[in-house]
Amino acid sequence: MIYIEQIILIDLLIHHTIVFFTGVLTLINVNRGRIIISDILNIIIVVLYFMFHINLKWQLGLILIIAIIIFKKNIVALMVYFLLNTTLGGISSIIYFNYNYHWFYVLFILLLLLIIVLFYIFKYKGLIKRGLYYECIFKKRRRRLALFLDTGNRLYDDENKAVIIINAKYKAYCQKSLHSVDIETINGSTKEVCYKCNDLYIKIKRKYIRFTGSIIFRDNIGDGIIGLNVLGG
């Protein structure tokens, strides 16, 4: 006899695995409170399915709501989570009610997780280890970024402190400072107001170091750009 508690526990395990790998692939940290809310909704989906036999459209709709709750406005994370959940979510029922194919589905899940891990290692960790990208995090907001290393970028503000460039969508995380930076372009020299953030940490030699320099913002540059002057080069 199969108890619904067993199915709920397995479903939650799969749910947390999918959330974890979504965060890994998209380089973001998920708020714990949002995960708890998503757990509750996930339990509701299981109960509705087995007690009231809700149809597939309702299941997909509820999964989409869960994805929005967890990842808010991060479209990439929403897509990754929704894709993984619609293909692997509810796999517990397949394992229990198709016993003859039990190991086939288990091996399928393990193979898919292995592909995800390898993708993460080669696409993100591999780049970071080779020095092309450096991890950066807004600690209180639990937001992780990957800053591209531009060896030709050596910007300094009027206090002779290093300047990094970050995507303009993170401007709300910082405060405007009294300092400025001179930027040379093909159209001449311009002076730009800098920003500060006491919550910004950059991972250098396996340690997160608080960045005390200045920040300027640009659109369409990925997460941001870091120069050798920040790394001591």
Neighbours of 133 (CB within 10 A): 22
The answer to whether the CB of 74 falls within 8 A of the CB of 58 is no
Q: Per-residue pLDDT for 220 more than 80?
A: no
Q: Dig out the tokens for 213 from the structure.
A: 């320099």
Cα–Cα distance measured from residue 104 to residue 101, given in angstroms and rounded to the nearest whole number? 5
Task: Give the per-residue pLDDT at 123.
Answer: 56
Q: Any residues with CB less than 8 A from the CB of 51 and at least 6 apart, and which? A: none
Burial class (CB in 10 A: 0-12, 13-18, 19+), 95: middle
pLDDT tens-place string over residues 166-209: 988 888 889 888 888 887 766 777 788 899 888 889 888 778 88
Which H or E element spans position 24? Answer: helix 4-26
Kindly provide the residue ranges of all beta strands, DSSP E only, lying in the chain, ordered along the sequence.
133-138, 143-150, 163-167, 175-185, 188-196, 200-204, 207-210, 214-218, 224-227
| Lowest-confidence region among 3-17, 96-110, 193-207, 216-230 | 96-110
Question: Average of pLDDT values for 217-233?
Answer: 81
Cα–Cα distance measured from residue 38 to residue 12, given in angstroms and rounded to the nearest whole number? 10
Task: Give the per-residue pLDDT at 195.
Answer: 92
Q: What is the DSSP letter of 206?
A: T
Full-prediction pTM beyond 0.75?
no
What does the H/E/C string look like for 90-151?
CHHHHHHHCHHHHHHHHHHHHHHHHHHHHHHHHHHHHHHHCCCEEEEEECCCCEEEEEEEEC
pLDDT tens-place string over residues 109-162: 666 666 666 666 555 554 544 557 788 888 777 778 888 888 777 888 888 888
Task: Give the per-residue pLDDT at 109.
Answer: 65
In a 3-state reduction of DSSP, which class is residue 55? coil
Q: Per-residue pLDDT for 97 more than 70?
A: no
The answer to whether the CB of 112 falls within 8 A of the CB of 120 is no
